[in-house]
Amino acid sequence: MTRAEAKERNRRALLDAAFQVVSRDGYRARLDEIAERADLTTGAIYSLFGSKDGLVVALVADYLRPYYEEIEQAVPAGLDLLEAVDAFARYYRRSCDAPDALSGLSLQITLLDMALHDPELGAQLAASIRSQEKHLVALFTGRSHEGGVVTSQQAQRLTTALRALFVGLSQGVPLGLAPGADEQYFADTARALASGMSLIDHDAGAL
């Protein structure tokens, strides 16, 4: 194994261990337990991530990256805006039934708790999530809608609204707070939101 391969193996082991410990313990997660689970030392955490906060931010990026890659495959080019929103909504609902859905929900709630306890970490997490959301903005930008074309500013507004909608719904599904919220419900709700909101671009006006 080369040095680069060993480094990546250690990085992967620490991220996997951090997912388990952080999801369970939140801001109380201990670096020594994470390192022990990865069969490494805390020194490896500082060497690879710089700090506990650096590990948590890397964990979020690692968790979200494949999610956005799958979305890009689930929402093909050539669809208009509402068709793209429909496909995205259906993908999001299917993700609620994935084997790791409860672990993902636990991590989501835990990260919010961590951000509330540590504003500096919260700012870093927000920046990481916004960076990942650029994939969604790019996914909706340029789609046709009501005789126009969605700009990046309009896609950003829509992405913010859809994220708020789906975070709430996806938390309700496993908790039993969203009865009847099947794939069609997600799609209908998302379409209604995209159709009803004026995707205002303050420079170019509304679509």
pLDDT digits (tens, 9 = 90+) for 140-197: 999 999 888 999 999 999 999 999 999 999 888 887 888 889 999 999 999 999 987 6
Question: Which residues, 6 or more positions from 181, have their beta carbon under 8 angstroms from its beta carbon?
Answer: 93, 169, 172, 173
pLDDT tens, residue by residue, 57-69:
999 999 888 888 8
Predicted TM-score (pTM) above 0.85 = no
37-81 pLDDT, tens per residue? 999 999 999 999 999 999 999 999 998 888 888 998 999 999 999
Distance between start and end Cα atoms, the chain: 55
Q: Tokens for 100?
A: 């790791």
Alpha-carbon distances of 96 from 3, 108, 121, 167, 181, rounded to whole Å: 38, 13, 27, 10, 11
Which residue reads 């009865």 in tokens? 179
Distance CA 50, CA 54 (A): 6
138/134 Cα distance (integer angstroms) = 6
